[in-house]
Structure formats: C-alpha cells, structure tokens
Amino acid sequence: MTSEELDIAFQNAVKSINEHTEPFPADVLLRLYAYFKRATNADHTRAGGKPHISAFKTNALFQTRGLTSDEAKQLYIESVTQYFLYRK
C-alpha cells in the first residue's frame, strides 16, 4: 500500500468511526484513541477532565510508543475493520 493509499484508507476508517452512532466498548475506544494520536503525531493528552480517564488515555499512548505514524494508521485501520467485522 502506498503512502497515499494508506492515508485514504486511514481517513475512511476515521470517517466510519465518527459516523457510527452506537456506543463503543471502552477498550476499543482507548485503542483507537492511541492509534489515532500516534498516526496524527498528536500523542499528548489534554489536562483537565476526569483523572482516571486521563490515566487510561496516557496508558494507552504509552503502550503505542515506538510506533511510526504509518504503523499506527495501519493498526487503526485493522482495528476498525475488525470491530465492524465481528461486532454483533
């Protein structure tokens, strides 16, 4: 997959998540959050909000350290595909 094809597939995966109206399981949201942040090079958490939620987000980002932007995009796409394939 070329870099351009990867970007298009990533944007399509993000769009499908944003358009989905049903709630997501917390573990799926955290995984997608961390991959998205790494993919877009925005790997920092905002201050404020509920401390325990910030801790989970920080942990999710920590677990994805070392991933390149392209690797994170690919994992995001795979996670979205798997979620929609197996959810019932």
- Whole-angstrom distance, CA of residue 31 vs CA of residue 21: 18
Residue, of 44 and 6, whose pLDDT is higher: 6
Domains of the chain: 3-86 (1.20.80.10)
Residue, of 8 and 41, whose pLDDT is higher: 8
- How many residues would you count in the chain? 88
pLDDT in tens, 28-87: 999 999 999 999 987 555 555 666 678 888 888 889 999 999 999 999 999 999 999 987
What own/partner pairs with CB < 8 Å and gap ≥ 24 does 81-87 have? 81/13, 83/24, 83/28, 84/16
- Whole-angstrom distance, CA of residue 72 vs CA of residue 80: 12
Q: What is the pLDDT of residue 88?
A: 55
Rounded average pLDDT over 16-23? 94
Q: What is the pLDDT of residue 42?
A: 78
